[in-house]
Amino acid sequence: MPGPEAYDATPFVPEGARIGELREAAAGCEGCPLFRDATQTVFGRGRLSARVVLLGEQPGDQEDRQGEPFVGPAGKLLRRACAEASIDPDDTYVTNAVKHFKFELQEERGKRRIHKPPTLRELSACHPWLTAELHLVKPELVVALGATAGKALYGSGFRVTQERGSVLDPPDGLEADAVVATIHPSAVLRAGDNRDEVYAGLVADLRVAAGALG
C-alpha cells in the first residue's frame, strides 16, 4: 500500500465491491493523513435504493465518536428541513465528501476539538469513496450541502452562494442525474438572530431538490 503522502484513496477502494465490503475497506483507509487523528472512518449510511444522496463536508465531533454521518445537531436540523421540503430523510443515502474528522485541539477551550475545513487535496484524495458509493446508489439527485461539498463535485471554482437552489448538470463522471446545492445545515446553527431566515432558505433549496425528482 502506498503511504498517506500519496493523497489518494484509490488503492484502498476494492473494485466491484458491495456496500458492506466498501464500508469495511474504508475503515482501514490511509489515503491521506486525516486517518491519524480521527477516531474512525465515517462512511455513508442509508438506502441503496434512495433517489437522493445528501452530501456533507466531513464528519463532526459526534459523528467521529459514533461512526455515523450527520448524527449530531446539524444532522438533526437537516432531517427536519428535509421532511419539511417533502424529502423523506429515511429514504436518502447520507454521506460526506471527506470520511475522516479534521480538527484542531484548542487548549484555551478545554482541549475542545474544533472542526477544520478539508483542503482540496484532502477532498480529492477521498473522492474515490464517493464515486464508489454513487456507483452503488445511482441516485437521481445529489444534494451538495455547503461550499465544500460543492467543491468536492465541481472543483475549487464552485460558489454555493451563486449556484444554490437550482438544478445543476452533474459534473463529468458523477453517477447521478442532477445536483442541487444548498447551504450546510450548520450554517443555520451559526446564524444567530437570522436563524429562521437562513433555515427557510435551506428548506426552499431542498424543495427545489424535491421538485427535481422525476
Q: Give the interface with ligand URA as residue ranges (CB under 6 A).
A: 56-60, 63, 69-70, 72, 74-75, 96, 186
CA distances from 86 to 71, 76, 79, 92 (A): 20, 16, 11, 12
Q: Which is nearer to ligand URA, 8 or 63 (CB)?
A: 63
Q: Which amino acid is at 148?
A: T
Question: Which residues are CB-neighbours of 111 under 8 A, at least 6 positions away?
Answer: 105
Q: Which is nearer to ligand URA, 6 or 37 (CB)?
A: 37
Q: Least distance from C-beta 5 to ligand URA, angstroms?
A: 26
Q: Which is nearer to ligand URA, 95 or 124 (CB)?
A: 95
Specify the pairing of strand 178-182 against strand 141-145: parallel
b/e per residue 51-74 (b: at least 16 CB within 10 A): bbbbbbbbbbeebbbeebbbbbeb
Q: Least distance from C-beta 195 to ligand URA, angstroms?
A: 17
Q: Least distance from C-beta 1 to ligand URA, angstroms?
A: 26
Q: Least distance from C-beta 64 to ligand URA, angstroms?
A: 9
